Amino acid sequence: MTAKAKQSKNALVPVKDLSPEEAASELERLAGLVASADEAYYQNDAPIMSDAEYDSLIRRNLLIEKKFPKLKRADSPSTRVGAAPSAKFEKVRHAAPMLSLDNAFNEEDVADFIGRVERFLKLSESPGFTCEPKIDGASLNLRYVNGELVLGATRGDGQEGENVTANVLTVDNIPKRVKGAPEILEVRGEIYMSHEAFAALNARLEEVGEEQFANPRNAAAGSLRQLDPAITASRPLKFYAWGWGELSEPLGQTQFASMKKLEKLGFEINKLLAVKEGAEALVAYHASVEEKRAGLGYDIDGVVYKVDRLDYQERLGFVARAPRWAIAHKFPAEKAMTILEAIDIQVGRTGALTPVARLKPVTVGGVVVSNATLHNEDEIERKGIHIGDTVIIQRAGDVIPQVLGAVEEKRPKNAKKFKFPDVCPVCGSHAVREEGEAVRRCTGGLICGAQIVERLKHFVSRAAFDIEGLGEKQIEAFFEEGIVKEPADIFTLRARQEKGKIDLYRYDLDENGERKRDKNGKEKPPTNKKSVENLFDAIDARRKISLTRFIYALGIRHIGEVNARLFAQAYGTFDAFRDAARAATDHDSPAYQDMLTIEGIGEIVAQGVIDFFDEKHNRDAVDRLLKEVTPEEAEKVASSSPVAGKTIVFTGSLERFTRDEAKARALSLGAKVSGSVSAKTDLVVAGPGAGSKLKTAQELGVEVISEDDWLKLVGS
Q: How far is CA 336 from the centre of its chain?
A: 28
If pLDDT is split at 50, 70 and 90, which confidence band does 210 have?
A: confident
Answer yes or no: do 359 and 307 share one domain. Answer: no
Instruction: Tell whether 527 is covered by a domain.
Output: no
- List all residues 6 or more positions away from 340 whose beta carbon is below 8 Å from its beta carbon: 357, 358, 359, 385, 386, 387, 388, 389, 390, 391, 403, 406
Answer yes or no: do 389 and 403 share one domain. Answer: yes
Specify the pLDDT at position 239: 96
Instruction: Tell whether 347 is covered by a domain.
Output: yes
Average pLDDT over residues 108-136: 93
The proportion of the chain whose per-residue pLDDT surpasses 70, expressed as a percent, equals 89
Instruction: Tell whether 510 is covered by a domain.
Output: no
Instruction: Tell whether 86 is covered by a domain.
Output: no
Greatest mean pLDDT among 344-348, 384-388, 396-400: 384-388
- Between residues 660 and 324, the one the model is more confident about: 324
Q: How far is CA 429 from the centre of its chain?
A: 31
Query: Long-range CB contacts (< 8 A, 24+ apart) of 10-17?
Result: 10/382, 10/383, 10/384, 10/405, 12/60, 15/60, 15/63, 15/64, 15/67, 16/67
**Kind and range of the H or E element at 553?**
helix 547-553
Answer yes or no: do 310 and 221 share one domain. Answer: yes
Instruction: Tell whether 515 is covered by a domain.
Output: no
Rg from Cα positions in the chain: 27
Q: Which domain holds residue 354?
A: 3-80+333-417
Judged by average pLDDT, the poorest of 108-122, 466-480, 534-548, 572-586 is 466-480
- Between residues 569 and 339, the one the model is more confident about: 339
Residue 272, pLDDT above cutoff 70: yes
Of 658, 633, 526, the C-alpha closest to 570 is 633
Among 604, 635, 666, the domain-final residue is 635
If pLDDT is split at 50, 70 and 90, which confidence band does 88 have?
A: low
Instruction: Tell whether 323 is covered by a domain.
Output: yes
Cα separations (Å) of 360 from 371, 388, 571? 9, 10, 51
Specify the pLDDT at position 288: 94
Tens of pLDDT along 625-641? 999 999 999 866 556 77
Q: Is 134 annotated in the active site?
A: yes
Q: Which of 6, 66, 134, 261 is catalytic?
A: 134
Strands 138-145 and 274-277, by their bridges, are: unpaired
Residue 589, pLDDT above cutoff 50: yes
Answer yes or no: do 46 and 117 share one domain. Answer: no
Residue 291, pLDDT above cutoff 80: yes
- List all residues 6 or more positions away from 33 whose beta carbon is below 8 Å from its beta carbon: 57, 375, 376, 379, 438
Specify the pLDDT at position 371: 86
Judged by average pLDDT, the poorest of 11-20, 278-287, 510-519, 576-585 is 510-519
**Vertex 15 angle, CA 11 and 19, to 5°:** 100
Residue 65, pLDDT above cutoff 70: yes
If pLDDT is split at 50, 70 and 90, which confidence band does 443 have?
A: low
Residue 4, pLDDT above cutoff 50: no
Summary mean pLDDT of the chain: 84
Judged by average pLDDT, the poorest of 26-30, 355-359, 383-387 is 26-30
If pLDDT is split at 50, 70 and 90, which confidence band does 294 have?
A: confident
- Quickly count: other Cβ atoms within 10 Å of residue 203's Cβ: 10
Tens of pLDDT along 353-381? 999 999 988 767 656 678 888 888 888 99
Specify the pLDDT at position 447: 60
Answer yes or no: do 287 and 221 share one domain. Answer: yes
Residue 399, pLDDT above cutoff 60: no
Domain of 476: which CATH number? 1.10.150.20
Residue type, 133: P
Among 295, 330, 365, the domain-final residue is 330
Judged by average pLDDT, the poorest of 454-458, 472-476, 503-507 is 503-507
Domain of 673: which CATH number? 3.40.50.10190
Instruction: Tell whether 109 is covered by a domain.
Output: yes
Domain of 24: which CATH number? 2.40.50.140
Specify the pLDDT at position 1: 36
Average pLDDT over residues 266-279: 96
Specify the pLDDT at position 86: 44
The proportion of the chain whose per-residue pLDDT surpasses 90, expressed as a percent, equals 36
Residue type, 351: G
Domain of 159: which CATH number? 3.30.470.30
Cα separations (Å) of 191 from 167, 465, 532? 11, 28, 35
**Would you report the helix, strand and coil content of the chain in percent, each value rounded to 5?**
40, 20, 40
- Say how many CA atoms lie within 13 Å of 483 toward its Cβ: 20
Answer yes or no: do 278 and 167 share one domain. Answer: yes
Specify the pLDDT at position 446: 52
Residue 2, pLDDT above cutoff 60: no
- Length of the chain, in residues: 716
- List all residues 6 or more positions away from 245 whose beta carbon is below 8 Å from its beta carbon: 94, 95, 96, 98, 141, 143, 186, 187, 188
Residue 711, pLDDT above cutoff 80: yes
Answer yes or no: do 314 and 297 share one domain. Answer: yes
Residue 89, pLDDT above cutoff 50: yes
Of 422, 147, 129, 490, the C-alpha closest to 303 is 129
Answer yes or no: do 611 and 666 share one domain. Answer: no
Please state at what angle helix 279-292 crosses helix 107-121, rounded to 10 degrees: 140
Residue type, 82: G
SS3 readout for 420-455: CCCECCCCCCEEECCCCCCCCEECCHHHCHHHHHHH
Domain count, the chain: 4
Answer yes or no: do 342 and 326 share one domain. Answer: no
Specify the pLDDT at position 7: 39
Average pLDDT over residues 577-588: 93
Answer yes or no: do 119 and 235 share one domain. Answer: yes
Answer yes or no: do 458 and 372 share one domain. Answer: no
Specify the pLDDT at position 83: 41
Strands 184-192 and 238-247, by their bridges, are: antiparallel
Among 330, 361, 383, the domain-final residue is 330
Average pLDDT over residues 634-660: 77
Answer yes or no: do 243 and 372 share one domain. Answer: no
* d(C-alpha 472, C-alpha 460), whole Å: 8
Specify the pLDDT at position 525: 67
Instruction: Tell whether 445 is covered by a domain.
Output: no
Of 66, 88, 59, the C-alpha closest to 467 is 88
Residue 185, pLDDT above cutoff 50: yes
